[in-house]
Amino acid sequence: MKKSILGIAFLIGIWGCDKDGDTKPEEDSRYHDSGVVLSAYTGAGGRAGYYAGYYNSLEEAASVDLTQKSSYTNLWVFGKLGPYLYGMSTSGDNKFAKMAVSKTTGIIEEVASFPLAGPSYFALVCNKDVGVVTQFNNLDLVVFNPATMEQTGTIDMSKATNINPQNRRYTYYAGVHRPSDNRLFMFYWTDDPATGLYYDESKIYVEVINLATRQWEKTISYDGGMYAISRGKENPVIDEQGNIYITCQGSYGLDGAIGPVAATKRSRPQIIKISAATNDFDPDYSFNPLNKLGYNGLMIQTLTGTIYDSNGIAYACVNATDESPQLLALIAKYATTGQLTEDEQAQLFNLAFYSVSQRWVRLDLNTQTATVIDDIPATGSFMYPTLYKHNGKLYFQYYDGTTSGFYSYDPATNKALKAVTVTKGGVASELNFLEE
């Protein structure tokens, strides 16, 4: 089961872009430079893919059937600059592409691309001149120019941590660029295919890179955390002082450490911190929002989709509803007998991760407190816990078991309204605003 969902489980990206310059390239005139691109993941017919459509405004996308728009083999945006979207080719080929929406057809077109030796599951568009692309089973980073899509070099990561590479799969599934000192922080992932875990170490490893010199500087590690990804777009996040906050998933209970008694701190979700003062982990900072919300007794605990707003306030999606009797019965059976049928395993996985059991919450990273956003009901957003900031508002993905889409949220009033609903075409996955 672990490997069959690996492609979905690791489609993790992050936005990391600066404003465009005043002068736009000539090719902009062919593409939409405002409006939104709404996309959804579909597994219809046993074949994974995406539908996506261009809309002039959110109001135009208020209730839509995406099957009336175009379909794509792959569509997951790692970064954006102006009207351009950056990610792996929509064809599914091993190419990293610069994409835009044609004014003529409304279809997402490949403007330029360059080939990769294999798949990439993470990239950063650091500014209009520099971006980096990770490689699967190769830790060296490909450096490129987002404007020209020219490959401008490679960052040698031979001194970085890589544990038992002959028998494991590895890459960087998360990272962040800090403009204030032009440093990259890349979060290491390692997986032993022989285990049931998604992350096979009991520490978090982060590589610090000087982007100006394109040199690896050091490895820092945090003992007591696992799986530093958030399944959303923005993790890790940076505050105004340059501190970096990292969402860690823990083990999902797959290491056998499950529930409030058996689970260790590293096996449970938490947010940890890299101090701007030291460029190392703060050993005294560990924030688990589920504890603050009173849900530390849940058997299955998740924390996904982190985004930063301002003044220490962030948002995320957490398990914050009572677990179903069916889920608890399956867990009890497995704990007692050590066995579940294949159908029971699938049911357990779906109940644990894809039931309508998560809530979007407001986090104060300074006081380490959490508050549920009441206007957004329970959601099954574990699959695509994407959220976006645009024009002073935030947009939170939701899935109610039948339809999906996005709520708009005004942090000034703490009020949310349903803004987008996908009536047909899969589970809403992204909402990309083309204008700055």
What is the per-residue pLDDT across 371-390, written as a single tens digit (0 to 9) for each?
Answer: 999 999 999 988 889 999 99
Mean pLDDT of 216-242: 91
Tokens of 380: 């099954």
Strand boundaries in 106-224, DSSP class E:
108-115, 123-125, 131-135, 138-144, 151-155, 169-178, 183-191, 203-210, 215-223
For residue 196, pLDDT over 80 is answered with no
Lowest mean pLDDT among 68-72, 257-261, 349-353: 257-261
Q: At 289, which amino acid appears?
A: P
d(CA 397, CA 419): 10
* Residue 78 reports pLDDT greater than 70: yes
Cα(180)–Cα(314) distance, rounded to whole angstroms?
20
CA distances from 208 to 26, 136, 162, 241 (A): 37, 19, 14, 18
Average pLDDT over every residue of 90-106: 97
**Domain residues of the chain, as ranges?**
6-22+31-321+356-433
pLDDT band at residue 22 under the 50/70/90 scheme: very low
What is the helix, strand, coil percentage profile of the chain, to 5? Answer: 10, 40, 45
Average pLDDT, the chain: 89
Instruction: Using the predicted structure, report yes or no on whether residue 1 has a pLDDT greater than 50.
Output: no
pLDDT at 185 over 90: yes
Q: CA of 270: how far to CAs of 175, 203, 319, in Å?
A: 17, 13, 13
pLDDT range class, residue 256, cuts 50, 70, 90:
low
Which residues sit opposite 394 in a β-bridge? 389, 409
Average pLDDT over residues 190-212: 91
Residue 254: per-residue pLDDT: 65
Tell me the mean pLDDT in the region 402-409.
96
CATH fold of 6-22+31-321+356-433: Methylamine Dehydrogenase; Chain H (2.130.10)
Question: Distance between CA atoms of 306 and 385, rounded to whole angstroms?
Answer: 8
Q: State the pLDDT confidence band at 263, using cuts at 50, 70 and 90.
A: low
Q: Which value, to the nearest 10 degrees, does the dihedral of the CA atoms of residues 158, 162, 164, 170 take?
A: -110
Length of the chain: 436
pLDDT of residue 314: 97
| SS3 (DSSP) at 128 | coil
Residue 436 predicted with pLDDT over 70: no
145-158 tens-digit pLDDT: 999 999 999 999 99
Q: How far apart are CA 271 and CA 229, in angstroms?
A: 10
CA distance 160 to 188: 9
Which range, of 11-25, 63-77, 301-315, 355-369, averages the lowest pLDDT?
A: 11-25
Position 313 pLDDT exceeds 70 = yes
pLDDT at 57: 96
- Most confident stretch, 57-71, 196-210, 340-354: 57-71
Counting residues of the chain whose pLDDT is more than 70, the rounded percentage is 90
Relative to beta strand 63-65, strand 415-424 is parallel
Instruction: Quote the CA–CA distance of 202 and 222 in Å, as a whole number.
Output: 9
**One-letter identity of residue 232:** G
DSSP 202-248: SEEEEEEEETTTTEEEEEEEEET------SSSS-SEE-TT--EEEEE
What's the mean pLDDT in 401-426? 96
Order the strands of the 270-275 sheet from edge to edge: 237-238, 244-248, 270-275, 280-287
Report the alpha-carbon distance of residue 350 to residue 352 in Å, rounded.
6
Q: What is the pLDDT of residue 260?
A: 63
